[in-house]
Amino acid sequence: MATTETTTIVVSDLFDVRQTQWGGRACFASKDIPENTTVLQTESAFGATVLYEFRKEVCAYCFHYEYGKYCKFKVPTPENGVKLTRKFQGAGLWFCSQGCLDRWTQFDPNNELTLTYESMLQNFQMKLKESHEKEDNNVEISKEIIGKEWVSISEWDDKISKMKKTKRLNQLPVLNEEEYASARFVALVLYNLHTHHKSSELFEHLQSNELEKITRFPVLLKSQTLVYKFLRLSLPEYLQPLLTIGSLRLIFGREYGNAFGIRQITDESSSEEKEFLGYMLSPEASYFNHSCRPNLKKTRDGNMMTFTTIKDVEKGEQLCIDYFQISEEPFEYRQKTLNENWFFQCACDRCCEERAMDSA
Ligand SMILES: [Zn+2]
Ligand SMILES: [Zn+2]
């Protein structure tokens, strides 16, 4: 899951991130690590978004969710001299506690991100009643087709840069709920780049899976261009220089295959289906490869993820997680799921053994 240049990436003193012979990067234990050791705890998410349908039920800071109960805390109207054309609506941010609201305020001390989200919310809702164009999902995708689509967007960019501000808003696209959620994901990444979040450099090292993902889901190409237009017309001045066609394509390309789902946390004994509430990206956690016989488990605590060994690991062994909680599933199912969602043929120890047994 990484690029090809040979820069050393330092994530932890318990493991090295190294280029592998089979391509991509992997994490190898740099010493013997006993079972039950935390090998990584991530920083606050570099990119994250809560799905629109859960916006009132999931805490915008810690992603706490309690079976459909509404969060009670909202951001107060910012008073730092910003003129809002419309009444402040809370930026689409709800918090589970005063503590989470306080932590949000620390994270966004000048309300820059809050006002970014507010502007996006108002623009999104303004268009909500208009119908969304149905897109053809069966188009052929190639590098050239993706390139061409973006050339037309760059022409649109030139065109609107010459327009008066009031006229520009007529160009605001209608987004569906998923597109709006992904626009918020991009806005958070841009904000974190703007404030030099600790993980910025690691983010730059992540591989883009743009072509693989769009080939699989052609509708995403149109969605990305709509999100681009929406952000161009909604982001405040301070983020505008960070939004370029190149940066947006890289953010999406890196999100694909590297983001983790934010799932409802239930107690271990519960057999209940966990709600999919949104998704988050922490670059430092993106170098663990998948194995159907993992030696790490991932747990989420608020907006951070913790990776812990579930068996003794010897120095030099690769550290792996089970991306999809599929280690209970049979070979064929695992191969199919991993290929469709993460774009690779699993060649972990277990898959190799099972494949060999099958052909024996
Ligand atoms: Zn919370
Ligand atoms: Zn496997």
**Residue 282 belongs to some domain of the structure:** no
**Residue 149 belongs to some domain of the structure:** yes
**Residue 6 belongs to some domain of the structure:** no
What is the distance between the alpha carbons of residues 146 and 153, in angstroms, rounded to a whole number? 11
41 contacts 27 by C-beta, under 8 angstroms: no
* Alpha helices (H) in the chain, listed in sequence order: 98-107, 112-127, 143-161, 165-168, 177-194, 200-205, 210-216, 219-234, 245-255, 331-342, 349-359
Range of the domain at 35: 15-42+287-330
Residue 137 pLDDT: 63
**Residue 273 belongs to some domain of the structure:** no
| Interacting residues of 98 by C-beta distance below 8 A, sequence separation 6+ | 73
Q: How far is the CA of 71 from the centre of ligand 1 (A)?
A: 9
Residue 218 pLDDT: 92
Half-sphere exposure of 227 (CA within 13 A, CB side): 26
Residue 83 pLDDT: 67
32 and 54 in a single domain? The answer is no
Q: Answer positive or negative: Cα dihedral of 122, 126, 129, 134.
A: negative
Residue 272 pLDDT: 67
Residue 130 pLDDT: 82
73 and 177 in a single domain? The answer is yes
Q: Tokens 């929406």 map to which residue?
A: 230
Q: How far is the CA of 352 from the centre of ligand 2 (A)?
A: 7
Q: What is the CATH number of the domain that holds 324?
A: 2.170.270.10
268 contacts 5 by C-beta, under 8 angstroms: no
What is the distance between the alpha carbons of residues 244 and 196, in angstroms, rounded to a whole number? 18
161 and 243 in a single domain? The answer is yes
Quick check: helix, strand or coil at residue 17?
strand
Residue 3 pLDDT: 47
Half-sphere exposure of 180 (CA within 13 A, CB side): 27
29 and 66 in a single domain? The answer is no
What is the distance between the alpha carbons of residues 85 and 176, in angstroms, rounded to a whole number? 24
Chain segment 247-292, per-residue pLDDT in tens: 999 999 999 989 999 998 877 666 666 889 999 999 999 999 999 9
299 and 227 in a single domain? The answer is no
DSSP at 174? P
95 and 142 in a single domain? The answer is yes
Q: How far is the CA of 19 from the centre of ligand 2 (A)?
A: 20
Q: How far is the CA of 332 from the centre of ligand 2 (A)?
A: 10
Q: Which ligand lies nearest the alpha carbon of 99?
A: 1
Low-confidence ranges of the chain (pLDDT < 70): 1-7, 80-84, 133-138, 268-273, 360
Q: How far is the CA of 343 from the centre of ligand 2 (A)?
A: 13
78 and 32 in a single domain? The answer is no
Residue 136 pLDDT: 64
Q: Which ligand lies nearest the alpha carbon of 351?
A: 2
Residue 86 pLDDT: 81
What is the distance between the alpha carbons of residues 344 and 302, in angstroms, rounded to a whole number? 29
What is the amino acid identity at position 88?
F
29 and 63 in a single domain? The answer is no
Q: Which ligand lies nearest the alpha carbon of 62?
A: 1
Residue 267 pLDDT: 74
Q: Kindly tell me the burial class for residue 330, based on how many C-beta atoms sit within 10 Å of its own C-beta (0-12, 13-18, 19 or more).
A: exposed
322 contacts 274 by C-beta, under 8 angstroms: no
214 and 317 in a single domain? The answer is no
Q: Which ligand lies nearest the alpha carbon of 337?
A: 2
Total number of domains in the chain: 2
